[in-house]
Structure 1
Amino acid sequence: MNKFFDIYMDLRKKIEHAEFETGSLLPSEKTLSDHYKVSRETIRKALALLLEGGYIQKKQGKGSIVLDIRRFNFPVSGLTSFKELQDSQQIPNETIVIKNKLETIPEFLAEDLKVDPGREVISLIRLRKIAGEVVIMDKDYLFHDIIEQIPSEVAENSIYAYLENELGLNIAYAKKEFVVEAATREDHKLMDLKDDTHVVVVKSEVYLEDTRLFQYTESRHRLDRFRFVEFARRKHSL
């Protein structure tokens, strides 16, 4: 592993554990190079990674300012459950299931997904409470002809773990759409939005390995607690 990456990981850990507080300055490049016994160029590479990750902001004449990292990272691509994100980022949270009901798919959704308007779905609404505030509302529709039921204790934990480990289903891929929408009356009623007028909405169609659509999810996020991240590499012409 490159030395600059080891330094980046060490500094990131210190920021995440508040050894460097929000708004404070990191030690100078010279101080860091002396501490880690590396060149200043190596330190600059480590700081560049912190900058790209949203951990610091460089300010002319001042140095590297530590940013507020209370926002949680949500990957743009990939299929990761909230439970898996919670475990990987050590997010203290509580999931509250307020709806778990078998019903006919909503007409608008049947039209959007081009499925039988009489098809039955398990309709779930789950509130994600972080640091005492509801900052996510997940609205899930799972096709009943594929999944017979979702016990509420499963919905409070990890649906994907249940589907894969208990039901033997192979979850393969998803189509995702990210939009900013005006907060609805339901959003204001069920979420702690403060003065926010909009929410970030992630709409996902999730498919099994055999290409069957089994789930539609609408995940509504409070604006100030999340950042949506992705690693992208430019492809060069041959």
Structure 2
Amino acid sequence: MNKNIYMHIYNDYSAQIQSGSLSTGQKLPSENELAEAYGTSRETVRKALHMLSENGYIHKIKGKGSFVLDTQRMSFPVSGLVTFKEVSERLGRSVRTIVYENDCVPSTAEIARCLQLKDPGPVWKVVRAREIEGEKIILDKDYFLTTYVPSLSLEAATNSIYEYLEQKLNLPISYAKKEISVEEVTPEDKLLLDLYDYQHIVVVRNYVHLVDTTLFQYTESRHRLDKFQFVDFARRAQN
């Protein structure tokens, strides 16, 4: 397989999709047509199409062909536990984190409930806006048990909290329970995000556990409706 050819096909079509030359829902030429146009084999074409599919440019439907996806919405994985820094590196867009709060504070009754605290005590609270291409479109509100996160620097909050937790504190972060809902925007959302006329927001709540099943973090991540799609991969169980 000629790597230069399949990368050439991939680059051609990814550029056309990003520029809007190919619109959302538009069907790509067939494998045979692409092979003839680029003077290559169907195997090479399939490799290019697979890369386009893997990177969120197209959707392949068996027996029907390949169709352009809406690339204006950024994909966030539903399954898996990934950080904003890890996702932003894949997005390839201009991003910035704005830290509004980074303090040890008394837990409210609601946060104590979310962290399953029998006796409400202090928690480490971090409130950050995620700015992508000049627009503040995600508000992250993180709460950590001070037993496991006794302190947290502004540098870590700005860069990557998980990098600090895993590499500096050696915390074995394992899994999270996630809840996703669409809710009315709050005054805080309007103040800290660029919401324009949007009256609802997508809220992802994460309850994060260590390897020994200890719940040590609660996160509320609030996303502007028009900017994201939440994706997962599902496989039907075989009998």
Map 1:117-132 → 2, pairs under 5 A:
117-132=119-134
Structure 2 residue identity aligned to 1:100: N
Give the Cα separation in 1 of the matches to 2:9 and 2:227: 22
What TM-score do you get using the length of structure 2 for normalisation? 0.82
Q: Is the 8 A contact 1:103 1:123 kept in 2?
A: yes
Deviation string for 1:190-230 (max 9, x for gaps)?
11112211111110011111221111000000111111111
Structure 2 residue identity aligned to 1:28: P
State the shift of 1:111 in Å: 2.6
Q: Please give the secondary structure, in 1, of the residue aligned with 2:233.
A: coil
Instruction: Provide the aligned length of Structure 1 versus Structure 2.
Output: 228
State the shift of 1:87 in Å: 1.4
Unmatched tracts of structure 2, length 5 or more: none
Moved more, 127-136 or 110-119: 110-119
Q: Is the 8 A contact 1:23 1:65 kept in 2?
A: no
Instruction: Please provide the CA RMSD for this pair.
Output: 3.0
Q: Is the 8 A contact 1:205 1:217 kept in 2?
A: yes
The aligned counterpart of 1:72 is 74
The aligned counterpart of 1:104 is 106
Percent of aligned positions with the same letter in both sequences?
Answer: 43
What TM-score do you get using the length of structure 1 for normalisation? 0.82
Give the Cα separation in 1 of the matches to 2:58 and 2:167: 40
Unmatched tracts of structure 1, length 5 or more: none
The aligned counterpart of 1:21 is 19
Structure 2 residue identity aligned to 1:210: D
Give the Cα separation in 2 of the matches to 1:48 and 1:209: 35
Distance 1:13 1:79, change over 3 A: farther
State the shift of 1:163 in Å: 0.7
Q: Please give the secondary structure, in 2, of the residue aligned with 1:211.
A: coil
Distance 1:90 1:144, change over 3 A: same
